Structure formats: structure tokens, C-alpha cells
Structure 1
Amino acid sequence: MELEELPANPVHKVKWKPPKTTETVDPRVVVNPRQAEALLTAVAPVGGRGRGPRLQAMFACMYYAALRPGETVALRKQDCHLPATGWGRILVDVSRPEVNVQWTDTGDAHEERGLKHRGHDDVRPVPIPPKLVKILRQHIEEFGVAPDDRLFHSERGKVVASTAYTEVWQDARALALTPAQVASPLARRPYDLRHATVSLWLNAGVPAPDVAERAGHGVDVLLRVYAKCLDGQQEIANRRIEDALAA
């Protein structure tokens, strides 16, 4: 059409509309802190030393720092400030999401990419609580880092495949949750740990711009996506409406 080689745009004749997609997070997937702790603890005994223990700190990053899986597998030691006491900091500047090799330029399923919703050279600083600092320090001491300085790697130093950590996660769910919870959407995917943390931050009263900065979202997207996960907000709104009606 741009070269004017067609007499008319044939796409206009297509009578199809893309199906509507759900943009908000399902609140049923969100775990509370006690459930998250139980899940992280349950990861350790899964699959022996070569699997569960290596992935425990990786899942902890998804929960305590709200990192996306692709950001977590790309995390390097040099990106982490891990003091002996107090809060630390992670600098997130690259992501390695797993995709079909046919859609990458290098043929690598974990091709390095810039951060989601950000410019290619942007860096996102994420403060991390002392508990995660301790977990990462112990992980580095026990398992070291890959040749390219990545924290999370297989026994051969390779990038952890999504099939590997998803399988461990499902086994951990079976250990940490009740049968009814296992059958439910609760924390069905490792990504749901990130949803739980962002929801926790918002419910704790952390200002939305700060939560958006930590999570790598725009404020408008953040509030739209997590609108249904703000526990107690409906009761607050109802109370305010009643007060207004009584005035």
C-alpha cells in the first residue's frame, strides 16, 4: 500500500475484531506473605541439590524485589549491592526472556534485551529488604556465579530454562499448599510472585509512583493492572460514600 502497488487496501474488507483480553491481575493468584514464605521454603528440597536449592534465591528475587523471570535470570553479581546489614539494592538493566529461537537474531532462546516498557539503555534501581540481601549472599557463597557473572545458572553455568524452574515451582506448590489451593489459580506461575509483591506494596500504602519505579511500570498501567488486588479499598470507598451521604 505504501508503494501504491495495490488499488485498494484489502485489510478493510476483513470483518474480524481481535478478542478482548484481560489486563488486570486476577486477585486469586496473589499469595500473602505467609504463603510466599512457605513456597520459598518448599523449593529447597525439590529435585536435590542441583535444582531446588539453586532456584530458591531466584524465586526470592521474583517475590522480594518483584523482578520478572527474564530480569531474574539475567541478574549479575555486579548488579547487586549486598551490605552486611540493612537494605541492599539491585540495578536491573537487561532482561533475558525465553522465546522461540526462530524469533531471535542470535538463535539463542535467552537473547539479551532491554527492560520492558523502557528505553534500551535504561537502568531500574530496586531497593531490596535485608531478608533478600541475606538470601543472595548465601546463594553466592554456596553456588558462586556463572562465567559471565550471572547469579542464577545450571550446574554447567547455563541460563536456567523456564521448563526447569516451572517444574520445580509446581512441585513446591504441592508441598506448601493444601490440595484445594494447588487446584486453584493461587501462585500457579512463578510470575505470580511478582504480582503478590506489587499488590503487597500497594496495600501497604507505598505511593504508586514509587511502586511503579520499583516494578518497572508506568503509574497508569500499574493502577489499571492491579486495581482488583487492592485489598480493603472497596470498604474504604464505601465508608467515604456513606460519610458524604450523611453530610
Structure 2
Amino acid sequence: MTTSYDVKFFEITRNKSSKTPSYVVRWSVARKRSSKTYRTKALAESFLSDLRQAAKRGEAFDVDSGLPMSMIKAKDARSVLEFAQAFIEMKWPHAAAKSRDSMSDALATVLPALTKDRAGRPDARELRTVLRKLLLLPEDKRPTVPQQHTAAVAWMKAASLDLASLEEAKTVRLALHALTLCLDGKAAASTTIARKRAVFHALLEYAVELEELSANPLHKIKWKPPKTTETVDPRVVVNPRQAQELLTAVTYVGRRGRGRRLMALFACMYYAALRPTEAVGLRVQDCHLPASGWGRLTIDVSRPEVNTQWTDTGDAHEERGLKHRGRQDVRPVPVPPELVKILREHIAEYGTAKDGRIFRSERGGVVASTAYTEVWQAARVLAFTPAQVASPVAKRPYDLRHAAVSLWLNAGVSAPDVAERAGHSVDVLLRVYAKCIDGQQEIANKRIGDALAA
């Protein structure tokens, strides 16, 4: 096999020689031209994007076939497991750590269902473990198989169905059924099912791109996933008095003033509607905190927490750009005097980390989600009645962000302005927070009544 890094891409063109619309992807490797024709422009664009990403991450291309080595590995795959491994290899370099985790989680759910009936099948938990920790990692990141898992790994490799079997609807239904269940046999959450199905769909689309499947079999199956609920439950939203009581309670929680160190973190979620991953990454250089009046936070970094096996750095908190935005995008958030004062006092008392982060653990690291969640749960017990503690109100720190956005909308702030501050699009904002806008029913009733009386 002769390989080269000399790759050039051309614009997608419509195939005018065919009566049925089709689109041609053209590229060259070491000046040798290659092309592929797809039925839709979307498929053609997807394939071209995969080629470009392979070139960008420095993959060698085979001169004869024109394909990058990751695609050749996928085309050489004969089992569903082997193809899933090649899919992971292809996606890994440009995927965020959370996305890598999500891909592995979804594929570890469906792959055990796509197996032959062979003796010696390991239990469901062991199969999930060997897939997540061993088989569904890129080849250069897979650890040596521990002795206690060698039999399970061997069984999974031998039992995985042939890739061609995915052409059959009955086989794909097995995977869809697996998506609906948790390991304990209970029904999975609708959002979890939707997320995992999206990964399975992407895997099958990749097989179609490489012409390993004639069409995506999911499109032929009449299967409706459970409906997902996008709207925020208004029962989780605290009012300003409750929010203040919670922030006060936080300062009394934990040994060595742990809660007191975190109070300003929660205040950022409530007064500025920051996501927890944005708040833990907030730096002093991102803050304009005048001695009086309103201030401003300029948000450009998010630090989502994930298992270290999914990150390139080995750190649990991967530095990323803002959610649903480009890496260089920023989001300015005006903040009220209450938060300005809290942040100024926090910085004066605790200082900052070496990189300017305002919030840090006792050892100077990024604040872990387990740490602030434990403090939050203890604060709810102090601030609320037993009935409120048992209710959904402010169940999670994230609910402070929901409370902030709901407060702004109910105060009459325009939807575009709220969306800009919260980092949403206007349509998503109104869809997600539709049930948290109070007073609209009374206004509508009055208008209808006036019209009837006219």
C-alpha cells in the first residue's frame, strides 16, 4: 500500500449526466484523482467533511483508494464491534471529552444486543465495563486487558454480529430495544434514549458513507422514541427570597469554611445565569467589578467535568469554548451590584488561582461537581422546610440558572436580551422557559374578555 499526505479537495458538483439527482465528491491523493457519488448533497458534504478532518489531523491517505487510513480500517471491519471501533478512531481527535464519553456510552449499550447466541456470555455489567474501559477506546489508548476481563473481551470479539447483518430490520430493532433500558432493566430516561439513538444513527450513517450498508436501516423502521421534555419545570425555580436564603445557608455548610468558599460560585449561577461549567472556569481577568453600580462578566471558557480517560490532557476538567458557540466567541453578561459586591469580597478574602480562576479547591484545582453538589444539598436542608427539601425546588445547583432566566423574563426583559445574557437562541429560550413565564394567562384572559364585551 502506497500512502501520501499530499491531498487536495474540490467542490462538490451535481452529476448532470444522471436523470436522478446525485452529487459527486472529488479529491486527489498524490495528484491521483478519486471521486464518490452520493444520492443527496447532505451525504456528499458529510463524506467530504470526514475526508477533510482526516487530512487536518495528519492521517496518511492511500493513493490507490484515495481513502484515509481510518476509513480503510472501517472498510476492512467485518463485525459490528470492529466497525464501531473504527468509528471511534475516526471521531476521537476532533470530539470533545464529553462527546467521546457519550459515544462510548451509547455504543456500549447497543453492541451487547448485536451479538450471536454463543455460550459463556458474560453478565451485562461486565460487558458494559469491558466496552467502556477497554474496547471502545482508540487503539493507542487501550490499556492491557486485566486478567479478570480476558474471557469477556474474547467473547465480545467472537460474538459480535457481521456488519452486513445491520441491513436487517429485526437486527436493528434489537439495538433500539437495548437503548430503552438501563442496566438494571428499568426504563431509561427519554433524553438518554434520544442521545444514544443519535450516536447509533451516526454510526449507521458512516457505514452508508463507506458503502458498507446500502441505506440507513433506522429510516426503514417504524419506531417512535419516547417524547423528550425540553421545558423547564417551574417547580424547580426559586424566588429571590428563597435564593437569598440558600446563598446564606451555603456559608454555614462544610468543614474549614468549604461552603463559604463556594457561596460566590452559586451567586454567579443565580445573578448572572452562568452554567456551572462556566462558573468554575471564571477568571478575574474576565470580570469588570467597579466599586459601585453594575459590573460585567465576559464569558469565553467552559470547563465541563468528565472522566480522565476521555480527555487528551488527563485532567478531569477539559477547557472548552462556550456551549453551542465557536471557540473564539465570547458572551458579555451585565451583573447587578449584589453580585459585584459578592465577587469583590470573595477575591479579597480568597485571592485567585495562578491562572486567574476565582474559584478553586482547597488544593488550587478546579472545583469538582461533587464538591459543590454536596454543599448545595446540605444548604437546602438548612434553608428549606422538610416539605421543600422533598420537593423539586432548587434540587440542583443548575436550577439557580433557571431561576435567573425566569426572573429576567418575568421582569419584562426582552427575550433577545435575555437570550444573549444566558447564551441561548431566542427560539430555544422561549421553548425551554415557556412554563416559567408568569402572568401571561391573566393578560390573555383580559384581552379575550375585552374582545367579547366589545
TM range (shorter): over 0.9
How far apart are the structure 2 equivalents of 1:103 and 1:19?
A: 29
SS of residue matched to 1:51:
helix
Of 101, 114, 137, which aligns to 2:344? 137
- 1:50–1:155 CA contact under 8 A, matched in 2: no
Q: Look up the match of 2:329.
A: 122
How far apart are the structure 2 equivalents of 1:8 and 1:204?
A: 51
- The alpha-carbon deviation at position 237 of structure 1 amounts to 1.1
Of 159, 179, 189, which aligns to 2:386? 179
SS of residue matched to 2:255:
coil
- 1:144–1:151 CA contact under 8 A, matched in 2: yes
Of 423, 430, 433, which aligns to 1:223? 430
- The alpha-carbon deviation at position 233 of structure 1 amounts to 1.2
Letter in 1 for 2:405: V
- The alpha-carbon deviation at position 82 of structure 1 amounts to 0.5
How far apart are the structure 1 equivalents of 2:212 and 2:394?
A: 52
Please list, as runs of the form range in 1=range in 2, the aligned pairs for 1:3-14 lying within 5 A after superposition. 3-14=210-221
SS of residue matched to 1:90:
strand
Indicate the larger mover: 72-81 or 232-241: 232-241
Please list, as runs of the form range in 1=range in 2, the aligned pairs for 1:21-170 lying within 5 A after superposition. 21-170=228-377
How far apart are the structure 2 equivalents of 1:159 and 1:55?
A: 12
Aligned-pair identity (%): 82
Letter in 2 for 1:30: V
Indicate the larger mover: 210-219 or 103-112: 103-112
- The alpha-carbon deviation at position 83 of structure 1 amounts to 0.5
- 1:45–1:53 CA contact under 8 A, matched in 2: yes
Indicate the larger mover: 49-58 or 160-169: 49-58
Query: Unmatched 5+ residue regions in structure 1?
Result: none
Deviation track 1:60-89 (CA, whole Å, cap 9, x = no partner) reads 000000000000000000000010011100
How far apart are the structure 1 equivalents of 2:360 and 2:236?
A: 27
SS of residue matched to 2:417:
helix
Deviation track 1:109-144 (CA, whole Å, cap 9, x = no partner) reads 210111112221110000011110010011001111
Letter in 2 for 1:183: A
Q: Look up the match of 2:439.
A: 232
SS of residue matched to 1:49:
helix
Query: Unmatched 5+ residue regions in structure 2?
Result: 1-207
- The alpha-carbon deviation at position 240 of structure 1 amounts to 1.1
- The alpha-carbon deviation at position 101 of structure 1 amounts to 2.9
| Shift in CA distance, 212/8, structure 1 to aligned 2, threshold 3 Å | closer
- 2:269–2:400 CA contact under 8 A, matched in 1: yes
How far apart are the structure 2 equivalents of 1:3 and 1:186?
A: 49
How far apart are the structure 2 equivalents of 1:231 and 1:240?
A: 16
- The alpha-carbon deviation at position 48 of structure 1 amounts to 2.8
- The alpha-carbon deviation at position 7 of structure 1 amounts to 4.2
| Shift in CA distance, 144/5, structure 1 to aligned 2, threshold 3 Å | same
Structure 1 length-normalised TM: 0.96
How far apart are the structure 2 equivalents of 1:246 and 1:100?
A: 63
Q: Look up the match of 1:214.
A: 421
Q: Look up the match of 2:396.
A: 189
Give the root-mean-square deviation of aligned CA atoms: 1.3
- 1:209–1:219 CA contact under 8 A, matched in 2: yes
SS of residue matched to 1:38:
helix
- Structure ranking higher on relative contact order (CA contacts 8 Å, 6+ apart): 1
Please list, as runs of the form range in 1=range in 2, the aligned pairs for 1:9-20 lying within 5 A after superposition. 9-20=216-227
Indicate the larger mover: 7-16 or 105-114: 7-16
- 1:66–1:215 CA contact under 8 A, matched in 2: yes
- The alpha-carbon deviation at position 51 of structure 1 amounts to 1.1
Structure 2 length-normalised TM: 0.53
- 1:24–1:228 CA contact under 8 A, matched in 2: yes
How far apart are the structure 2 equivalents of 1:102 and 1:244?
A: 63
Deviation track 1:182-219 (CA, whole Å, cap 9, x = no partner) reads 00000000000000010000000011111111100101
